[in-house]
Structure 1
Amino acid sequence: MDPALGPPEAMAEKRDELTPMMRQYHDLCARYDDAIVLFQVGDFYETFCGAAERTARLLEVALTSREDSTGEYPMSGIPIDNAESYIEELLEAGYRVAVADQIEEPGESPGVVERAVTRVITPGTLTEDELLAGDDNNFVAAIARGAGTEGDTAEIALALLDVSTGDFLATSSSSCEAIADEVSRFDPAEAVVGPDAPTDLLPENCMVTPYDETAFDRDRAGAKLSAYFRNPDALLASDAEIRACGALLSYAEYVRGGAHEGERGETADKAETEGDAPDDEDHHLEYLTHLTRYDPREYLLLDAVALRSLELFEPRTVHGRDDATLVGVLDETASALGGRKLRDWLRRPLLEPDRIEARLDAVEELMGAVQTRERLHELLRDVYDLERLIGRISRERANARDLRSLRDTLAVVPEVREELADADCGRLRRLHDALDPLADVRELIDDAVVADPPIEITEGGVIAEGYDADLDDLRGTARDGKQWIDDLEERERERTGIDSLKVGYNSVHGYYIEVTNPNLESVPENYQRRQTLKNSERFVTPELKEREDEIVGAEERADEREYELFCEVRREVAAEVERVQRLAEALATLDALVSLATAAAQYDYCRPEIIERGGGADSDGRVLEIEGGRHPVVERTQESFVPNDADFTDDRRLAVITGPNMSGKSTYMRQVAQIVLLAQVGSFVPASAARLTPVDRIFTRVGASDDIAGGRSTFMVEMDELATILREADENALVLLDEVGRGTSTADGMAIAQAITEHLHDRVGATTLFATHHHPLTELADDLAAAFTLHFEVEQVDGEVVFHHEIAPGAATGSYGVEVATAAGVPDSVVDRARELVAAADADTEPGDEATDTATASSDAPAAETAAATADGGDVPTDVAAELRALDLAHLTPVEALTELDRLKRLLEE
Structure 2
Amino acid sequence: MTQASVQNTAPADTKVTPMMAQYIEIKTANPDSLLFYRMGDFYELFFEDAEVAARALGITLTKRGKHQGNDIPMCGVPVHAADDYLQKLIALGHRVSVCEQTEDPAEAKKRGSKSVVRRDVVRLVTPGTLTEERLLDSGANNYLMALTRLKGGSLTGDAVYGLAWIDMSTGTFQVSETDHQRLAADLAQVAPRELIIADMLLQESDLRQIAEQSGGALSPVPRTFFDGSTAADRLSHYFGVKTLDGFGTFTRAELSAAAGILAYVEKTQLGERPPLDPPVREAGAGRMLIDPATRANLELSRTLSGERQGSLLATIDRTVTGGGSRLLASRLAGPLVDVDAIHRRQYAVSFFLENEIMRESLRQTLKGAPDMARALSRIALSRGGPRDILAIAHGLTASLAVLEQTGATPSEIPAEIAAARASLEQAPHGLGSELLAAIKDEPPLLKRDGGFVASGYNADLDELRALRDESRKVIAKLQADYSEELGLRSLKIKHNNVLGWFIEAPTAQTEKLTADPGRFIHRQTMAGAMRFTTTELADLESKIASAGERAMAIELEIFDRLTAAIIEAGAAIKSAAHGLSKLDVSAALAKLAQEENYSRPLIDDSRAFEIKGGRHPVVEQALRKGGGESFVANDADLGPEAGEDIGHIWLITGPNMAGKSTFLRQNALIAVLAQMGGYVPALSAHIGVVDRLFSRVGAADDLARGRSTFMVEMVETAAILNQAGDRSLVILDEIGRGTATFDGLSIAWATIEHLHEVNKSRALFATHYHELTALSAKLDRLSNATVSVKEWNGDVIFLHEIVPGAADRSYGIQVAKLAGLPAMVVERSKQVLSQLEEQDRNTASETLIDELPLFASLSPQAAAPTAVSAPESAALTALSNFNPDDMTPREALDALYKLKAMQAQE
Q: Judge which range, 18-27 or 7-16, deviates more.
A: 7-16
Question: Could you say if the C-alpha distance between residues 22 and 648 of structure 1 is closer, same or farther in structure 2, counting changes exceeding 3 Å?
Answer: same
User: How big is each residue's C-alpha offset from its partner over 1:518-552, in whole Å with a ceiling of 9 and x where there is no partner?
Assistant: 99499999734345899998765545433332331
Does residue 354 (structure 1) correspond to residue 340 (structure 2)? The answer is: yes
Does residue 241 (structure 1) correspond to residue 241 (structure 2)? The answer is: no
Question: CA RMSD for the aligned pairs?
Answer: 3.4
Question: Could you say if the C-alpha distance between residues 880 and 323 of structure 1 is closer, same or farther in structure 2, counting changes exceeding 3 Å?
Answer: farther
Separation of aligned partners in 2, 1:140 and 1:772: 41
8 Å contact 1:67–1:73 — kept in the other structure? Answer: yes
Deviation at 1:676, TM superposition (A): 1.3
Deviation at 1:412, TM superposition (A): 2.0
Does residue 200 (structure 1) correspond to residue 206 (structure 2)? The answer is: no
Deviation at 1:590, TM superposition (A): 1.3
Q: Which residue does the alignment assign to 2:896?
A: 878
Equivalent positions of 1:81-100 (< 5 A) are 81-100=80-99
Deviation at 1:16, TM superposition (A): 8.8
Does residue 566 (structure 1) correspond to residue 551 (structure 2)? The answer is: no
Task: Give 1:14's aligned amino acid.
Answer: A
Q: Which residue does the alignment assign to 2:76?
A: 77
Equivalent positions of 1:216-235 (< 5 A) are 216-229=226-239, 230=241, 231-232=243-244, 235=248
Q: Judge which range, 820-829 or 803-812, deviates more.
A: 820-829
Equivalent positions of 1:422-571 (< 5 A) are 422-424=408-410, 425-426=413-414, 427-436=416-425, 437-468=427-458, 470-472=460-462, 474-475=464-465, 477-478=467-468, 481=471, 504-507=493-496, 508-511=498-501, 520=512, 527-530=519-522, 541-571=534-564
8 Å contact 1:838–1:881 — kept in the other structure? Answer: no
Deviation at 1:147, TM superposition (A): 5.5
Structure 1 stretches of 5 or more lacking a match? 259-281, 614-621, 883-910
Q: 1:130 aligns with which of 115, 134, 151?
A: 134
Task: Give 1:243's aligned amino acid.
Answer: S
Separation of aligned partners in 2, 1:315 and 1:493: 69
Separation of aligned partners in 1, 2:446 and 2:13: 37
Does residue 283 (structure 1) correspond to residue 283 (structure 2)? The answer is: no
User: How big is each residue's C-alpha offset from its partner over 1:6-33, in whole Å with a ceiling of 9 and x where there is no partner?
Assistant: 6524543239943332222112211111
Question: Could you say if the C-alpha distance between residues 822 and 296 of structure 1 is closer, same or farther in structure 2, counting changes exceeding 3 Å?
Answer: same
Equivalent positions of 1:367-386 (< 5 A) are 367-386=353-372
User: How big is each residue's C-alpha offset from its partner over 1:636-665, in whole Å with a ceiling of 9 and x where there is no partner?
Assistant: 122221111111222351111111222221
Q: 2:732 aligns with which of 722, 729, 737?
A: 737
SS of 2:340's equivalent in the other structure is helix
Deviation at 1:354, TM superposition (A): 1.6
Identity of aligned residues (%): 34
Question: Could you say if the C-alpha distance between residues 9 and 752 of structure 1 is closer, same or farther in structure 2, counting changes exceeding 3 Å?
Answer: same
8 Å contact 1:6–1:32 — kept in the other structure? Answer: no
8 Å contact 1:746–1:856 — kept in the other structure? Answer: no
Q: Which residue does the alignment assign to 1:312?
A: 300
Deviation at 1:35, TM superposition (A): 0.7
8 Å contact 1:15–1:23 — kept in the other structure? Answer: no
The TM-score with structure 1 as length reference comes to 0.85
8 Å contact 1:841–1:878 — kept in the other structure? Answer: no
Deviation at 1:308, TM superposition (A): 1.2
Q: Which residue does the alignment assign to 1:264?
A: none
Task: Give 1:181's aligned amino acid.
Answer: A
Question: Could you say if the C-alpha distance between residues 136 and 500 of structure 1 is closer, same or farther in structure 2, counting changes exceeding 3 Å?
Answer: closer
Does residue 293 (structure 1) correspond to residue 281 (structure 2)? The answer is: yes
Q: Which residue does the alignment assign to 1:168?
A: 173
User: How big is each residue's C-alpha offset from its partner over 1:681-728, in whole Å with a ceiling of 9 and x where there is no partner?
Assistant: 111111111112111111111112221121122222122112111111
Deviation at 1:236, TM superposition (A): 4.7
Deviation at 1:557, TM superposition (A): 2.6
User: How big is each residue's C-alpha offset from its partner over 1:460-497, in whole Å with a ceiling of 9 and x where there is no partner?
Assistant: 31223454455455445545655665666788899x79
Task: Give 2:378's aligned amino acid.
Answer: R
8 Å contact 1:669–1:736 — kept in the other structure? Answer: yes
User: How big is each residue's C-alpha offset from its partner over 1:791-835, in whole Å with a ceiling of 9 and x where there is no partner?
Assistant: 112121101111111111122222222222222222333322222
Separation of aligned partners in 1, 2:747 and 2:77: 60
Q: 2:60 aligns with which of 54, 59, 62?
A: 62
Deviation at 1:213, TM superposition (A): 2.4
Q: Which residue does the alignment assign to 2:105?
A: 106
SS of 2:128's equivalent in the other structure is coil
Separation of aligned partners in 1, 2:454 and 2:612: 62
Does residue 333 (structure 1) correspond to residue 303 (structure 2)? The answer is: no
Q: Which residue does the alignment assign to 2:404?
A: 418
Q: 2:618 aligns with which of 626, 633, 636?
A: 633
Task: Give 2:295's aligned amino acid.
Answer: L
Question: Could you say if the C-alpha distance between residues 321 and 137 of structure 1 is closer, same or farther in structure 2, counting changes exceeding 3 Å?
Answer: closer
Separation of aligned partners in 2, 1:54 and 1:866: 50
Q: Judge which range, 355-364 or 227-236, deviates more.
A: 227-236
Task: Give 1:291's aligned amino acid.
Answer: P
Does residue 402 (structure 1) correspond to residue 392 (structure 2)? The answer is: no
Deviation at 1:294, TM superposition (A): 0.7
Q: 2:634 aligns with which of 632, 640, 644?
A: 644
Question: Could you say if the C-alpha distance between residues 863 and 672 of structure 1 is closer, same or farther in structure 2, counting changes exceeding 3 Å?
Answer: closer
Q: 1:722 aligns with which of 717, 721, 733?
A: 717
Deviation at 1:348, TM superposition (A): 0.9
Q: Which residue does the alignment assign to 1:19?
A: 17
Question: Could you say if the C-alpha distance between residues 165 and 838 of structure 1 is closer, same or farther in structure 2, counting changes exceeding 3 Å?
Answer: same
Q: Which residue does the alignment assign to 2:572?
A: 579
Separation of aligned partners in 1, 2:588 and 2:457: 41
Q: Which residue does the alignment assign to 2:653?
A: 658
Q: Which residue does the alignment assign to 2:852?
A: none
Separation of aligned partners in 2, 1:816 and 1:36: 58
Does residue 190 (structure 1) correspond to residue 194 (structure 2)? The answer is: yes
Deviation at 1:108, TM superposition (A): 2.6
User: How big is each residue's C-alpha offset from its partner over 1:128-147, in whole Å with a ceiling of 9 and x where there is no partner?
Assistant: 22222211112121111126
SS of 1:209's equivalent in the other structure is strand
8 Å contact 1:457–1:563 — kept in the other structure? Answer: yes
Separation of aligned partners in 1, 2:761 and 2:648: 7
8 Å contact 1:866–1:877 — kept in the other structure? Answer: no
Q: Judge which range, 389-398 or 498-507, deviates more.
A: 498-507
Task: Give 2:660's aligned amino acid.
Answer: K
Q: 2:835 aligns with which of 836, 840, 847?
A: 840
Does residue 694 (structure 1) correspond to residue 703 (structure 2)? The answer is: no
Q: Which residue does the alignment assign to 2:309?
A: 323
Deviation at 1:633, TM superposition (A): 0.9
Q: 2:664 aligns with which of 657, 666, 669?
A: 669
Equivalent residues, number = 841
Deviation at 1:879, TM superposition (A): 7.3
Q: 2:29 aligns with which of 27, 31, 54?
A: 31
Q: Judge which range, 404-413 or 795-804, deviates more.
A: 404-413
Question: Could you say if the C-alpha distance between residues 734 and 486 of structure 1 is closer, same or farther in structure 2, counting changes exceeding 3 Å?
Answer: same
Equivalent positions of 1:613-624 (< 5 A) are 613=606, 622-624=607-609
Question: Could you say if the C-alpha distance between residues 764 and 526 of structure 1 is closer, same or farther in structure 2, counting changes exceeding 3 Å?
Answer: same
8 Å contact 1:859–1:880 — kept in the other structure? Answer: no
Task: Give 2:622's aligned amino acid.
Answer: T
Deviation at 1:248, TM superposition (A): 0.7
Separation of aligned partners in 1, 2:889 and 2:505: 116
Q: Which residue does the alignment assign to 1:809?
A: 804
Question: Could you say if the C-alpha distance between residues 107 and 587 of structure 1 is closer, same or farther in structure 2, counting changes exceeding 3 Å?
Answer: same
Q: Judge which range, 568-577 or 475-484, deviates more.
A: 475-484
Q: Judge which range, 466-475 or 790-799, deviates more.
A: 466-475
Structure 2 stretches of 5 or more lacking a match? 202-206, 624-628, 642-646, 850-874, 901-906
User: How big is each residue's C-alpha offset from its partner over 1:290-310, in whole Å with a ceiling of 9 and x where there is no partner?
Assistant: 322111110111111111111
Q: Which residue does the alignment assign to 1:755?
A: 750
SS of 1:78's equivalent in the other structure is strand
